[in-house]
Amino acid sequence: MGRYLLKRTLNYLVMLFVAVTLAYFLAASRLNPRLLYDVTNPNLDWDSINGALSDRNLNPDESVWSRYWGWLSGVLRWDWGEKPKAGEVNQEIANRVWVSVRLVTGGFLIGTLTGIVAGAWSATKQYKLGDRAITMSSLLLISTPTFVVAVVLQILAIKFNRATGWNWFEFLGEEGRHSGSWISPWLDRAQHLLLPTITLALGGFAIYSRYQRNMMLDTLHADYVRTARAKGLSRRKAVFKHALRTALIPVGTLFAFSAAGVFVGATFTEILFGWHGMGEYLVTSISGQDVHGAVAVAAFAGVTVFIGAMLSEVFVVLLDPRVRVG
């Protein structure tokens, strides 16, 4: 098992390096920091501007290869470069990574776990009322854009706050004003986190419930499950010990590779709820012609895919004895 995991780790590290390199060349060839300045202004000192861009390794007149090697040498020292006008990308990433982690982790895990449980249960109740209810709700959530779900939740929260006369739900930023006991800051953060978490959890629930239901239906009618039942194993044990365990393998892979999409793809959620995370930074980097920022976000996404892929491999090894034997 150790040899298998080591081999997979090396493969993923090579792919991560290639992906980040390609992201750099794409960003460096398509983003032009010079566009941040008014090219129609005759009073601009272009020599000074080009000199400043060269100092930041962002001058588009220089060879993309020379800029890449300069950028790569800095990354090896954990220096992700500078922004086009001012500021360090390292500082921006350090401020935003943990914002995304706080925002995404709860919703992602809650949505995944509830979706898996609901999907597995609905498969055992195929075409019954509970199965149809979960199917309809999942399809409704899947077909509804995330920003619509977020706005609807905000409207409902405002109506609920007005009806009760108390601000139970807060949804702009990570925290607001608080005073009183030591627990007040924690309650305030929980209030601000509740609606974004529900928004992300609903999307995860819809996707994983459908995926798990389909996988579960395939395994419930498999020959090995029927054989286990014929040998006298109870239906519950056959479902949990054989059908569910096998059906979790592809879902585990989906879970791992969905991590990057969730962390970087929560852009609408971050913008609508006022959280300044990595998804928002991706948009501002591209619109701000920030080559180094865009590549740093791509690298962050690649690292989350790498971590998720390794967790997926471990998950598969634990669930599938054929991998351990091989």
Alpha helices in 59-145 (DSSP H): 64-76, 89-124, 129-143
Percent above pLDDT 70 for the chain = 92
Long-range contacts of 45-54, Cβ-Cβ distance < 8 Å, separation of 24 or more: 53/84
User: What are the residues facing 82 on neighbouring strands?
Assistant: 88
Contact 174, 99 (CB under 8 A): yes
Higher pLDDT, 9 or 68: 68
CATH superfamily of the 89-287 domain: MetI-like (1.10.3720.10)
Task: Please determine, for residue 220, whether its predicted confidence score (pLDDT) is greater than 90.
Answer: no
Q: Any idea where the domains of the chain sit in the sequence?
A: 89-287
Cβ distance 302 to 295 under 8 Å? no
Q: Which of 55-64, 164-173, 183-192, 263-272 is most confident?
A: 55-64
Residue 22 pLDDT exceeds 90? yes
Average confidence score pLDDT of the chain: 84
* Helical pair 89-124 and 184-220, crossing angle rounded to 10 deg: 50
Q: Averaging pLDDT over each range in 4-18, 227-241, 304-318, which range is the top one?
A: 4-18
According to DSSP H, which parts of the chain are helical? Answer: 2-30, 46-55, 64-76, 89-124, 129-143, 146-164, 184-220, 223-230, 235-238, 244-265, 267-273, 278-287, 291-319, 321-325
Q: Quick: pLDDT tens for 35-61.
A: 888 777 778 888 898 899 999 999 998
pLDDT for position 202: 92
Integer Cα distance of 68 and 57 in angstroms: 9
